[in-house]
Amino acid sequence: MKTRLLNMLIAFSLFGQLSCFSNTDQLQNEKSDFKIIGFHLDLRVQVMKPEALKSIAYELSAFGVNTLIMEYEATYPFESHPLIPNKYAYTKEEIKEFIAYCNRLNIDVIPLQQTLGHMEYILRHDRYAQQRENQKDVSQICPLETEPNKALFTDLFAELVEMHPSKYIHIGGDEAYLLGKCNKCSQKVKEEGKAKLLADHLKMVCDIVVSLGKIPVMWADIANKYPDELSQLPKETVFVVWNYGWSLDRFGDPEKITKKGFEVWGAASLRSNPDNYYLTRWEYHFNNIRDFIPLCRKSDYKGMIMTSWSTSGVYSTVFEDEQRITDLIPVRHVYPISGFRMLVAAYAKAMTQKDGLDIEQFIISYCDDRYGFNKQEALQFWKAIKGMPYKVVNGKVDKHIELTVRILLDSVRQDQIILNNLVPEKNAEEFEHYRLMTDIRENYLAFENIETFVNSQEFKIDNIPEVLRQLEVILEKDNTIKARFTNMNKGLFYPEQIKEENQIRTERVKILYERLKKNRN
């Protein structure tokens, strides 16, 4: 009875009312032929409240998800290494309750602990300085610091195993771009090659996992680039081929891994680079879901994971002096997961569609079910959120020389009109996320348009008053955006986290405003 009551209390999902599910949303009696139907939660910069995690798990379970990969990073309450947990770290009791809750939903929770790259949150500390591959870019561990590495990962894995009954541990292993760069590693590469350097390190890590009675899982990109020595890894090791819309051999031919007899899972994404607060590539991610899942099925992959990245994992280092690190600033934040229910639903639907997802039909059905839109309204909505999802780099529209920032700005303003004219009959809170994303992009492009002008030869001191007035308009709009963002995500994040997320979106605006204000006529 208590469990049912808890489920009912949590059932007011971050994505909308769970009672509004329909056949278009849930797998229900439709079956997927993948044994692993997974979802990846990235807690590196957007740390969700414990009850929010339960709410997300509840909804994912209703969509048919049976596996969660938790990238805790510094939110895990390691006791053997007390410098690692950050100010948002969960308690062990919170972790225990969350895993128990997921188990009641028949969701397996797999912990992810990076063991090669993306280790800034550990290597930033002096205690681990010896293990860095590079003393300036502290993202990667040196694989030849074997003894301290083995001791570290034995400690961390032991604590993860203590809390997680899953038979898997994910050891990361992706985007290790510094591999072989330090003096010791470069010498080994000369003598034995990068494949040997990589495989020796991965074998050490995997052996620790196996010794604890678990199966190692890892991202496949770096292993794909240097596959020659992978046969020395434990035969039960699982590789996850992640592909976010590019050619299958971008990191090397995945068949080199499958031919060695390893189990392989696939991974698509609903938030990935270059998505950020100002840019969401809806059509790109829909296409990724449509195209990659059937390809994984054809390749006989045993599982699928939907990844959801809150940041790129690249950090700007703030140094106190030439050597000492003060802080690490994430270079990219993405709109919170609260705004992406539609892509989760598309993923769930695609897992049962052997021929691939019919995107337009899915949009029409989803909009009918969730918002009460007719076909024409659904297609207007689809046109508006697709928009023109292009980056702006140094005042230019990236890779689109025929476009200008002004054209992008005018386009997103047309999208705003469409979204504001559409009136959902239900799930208005979910729909408001699309409007907010679009309003954030419009305000950002308005600033980019101003910045393009002030960096041109036409900008003179006489233009400053008008530029300041326009910047004030942007800041006023942002105050409204902040209030809406806070209200819509107060159940997801802690107040301080919301404050941080709200602050980053207008830092450049404020800096330019204060600079020009000094030169006001």
Distance CA 96, CA 498 (A): 25
Render pLDDT for 355-379 as a digit per residue (tens, 0 to 9).
899 999 999 999 999 999 999 999 9
> Rounded mean pLDDT of 324-345?
93
Q: Give pLDDT, residue 16.
A: 52
Render pLDDT for 72-131 as a digit per residue (tens, 0 to 9).
999 999 999 999 999 999 999 999 999 999 999 999 999 999 999 999 999 999 999 999
> Rounded mean pLDDT of 214-227?
97
Q: Give pLDDT, residue 518.
A: 82
> Rounded mean pLDDT of 507-516?
95
User: What are the structural domain ranges in the chain?
Assistant: 2-350, 373-517
Render pLDDT for 263-303 as a digit per residue (tens, 0 to 9).
999 999 999 999 999 999 999 999 999 999 999 999 999 99
C-alpha distances out from residue 394 to 120, 332, 401, 404, 452, Å: 28, 17, 13, 12, 8
Q: Is 346 exposed, middle or buried (0-12, 13-18, 19+ CB in 10 A)?
A: buried
CB of 409 within 8 A of CB of 387? no
> Rounded mean pLDDT of 36-40?
98
Residue 19: pLDDT band (50, 70, 90) is very low
Overall fold of domain 2-350: TIM Barrel (3.20.20)
pLDDT at 319 over 60: yes
pLDDT at 405 over 90: yes
pLDDT at 5 over 50: no
Q: Give pLDDT, residue 106.
A: 97
Helix (H, G, I), strand (E, B) or coil at 233: coil
pLDDT at 20 over 50: no
Q: Give pLDDT, residue 264.
A: 97
Q: Strand 215-219 and strand 168-170: pairing? A: parallel
Q: Give pLDDT, residue 330.
A: 87
Q: Give pLDDT, residue 33.
A: 85
Mean model confidence pLDDT for the chain:
93
pLDDT at 161 over 80: yes
> Rounded mean pLDDT of 199-215?
98
If one compares 447 and 7, the residue with the highest pLDDT of the two is 447
Render pLDDT for 466-477 as a digit per residue (tens, 0 to 9).
999 999 999 999
What is the chain's percent helix, strand, coil content, to nearest 5?
50, 15, 35
Q: Give pLDDT, residue 241.
A: 97
If one compares 1 and 85, the residue with the highest pLDDT of the two is 85
What DSSP assignment string belongs to 76-136?
A: S--SSSTTS--TTPPPHHHHHHHHHHHHHTT-EEEEB--SSSS-HHHHTSGGGGGGBS-SS
Residue 14: pLDDT band (50, 70, 90) is low
Whole-angstrom Cα Rg for the chain: 24
> Rounded mean pLDDT of 12-39?
60
Distance CA 78, CA 156 (A): 7
Render pLDDT for 131-145 as a digit per residue (tens, 0 to 9).
999 999 999 999 999
> Rounded mean pLDDT of 447-472?
96
Q: Give pLDDT, residue 4.
A: 45
Q: Is the peptide bond before 274 cis (omega within 30 degrees of 0)?
A: yes
If one compares 253 and 444, the residue with the highest pLDDT of the two is 444
Q: Which residues contact 247 (CB under 8 A, 6 or more apart)?
A: none
Single out the residue of 320, 297, 309 nearest to residue 41, CA to CA. 309
Question: Residue 329: which H helix or E strand, with range?
Answer: strand 325-330
Residue 520: pLDDT band (50, 70, 90) is low
Cα 287 from chain centroid (whole Å): 17
The most confident of 199-208, 326-335, 392-401, by mean pLDDT: 199-208
Residue 32: pLDDT band (50, 70, 90) is confident
pTM: 0.93
> Rounded mean pLDDT of 1-18?
47
pLDDT at 12 over 50: no
Q: Give pLDDT, residue 521.
A: 53
Distance CA 236, CA 207 (A): 11
Single out the residue of 3, 7, 12 nearest to residue 491, CA to CA. 12
Residue 6: pLDDT band (50, 70, 90) is very low
Q: Give pLDDT, residue 474.
A: 98
> Rounded mean pLDDT of 418-447?
98
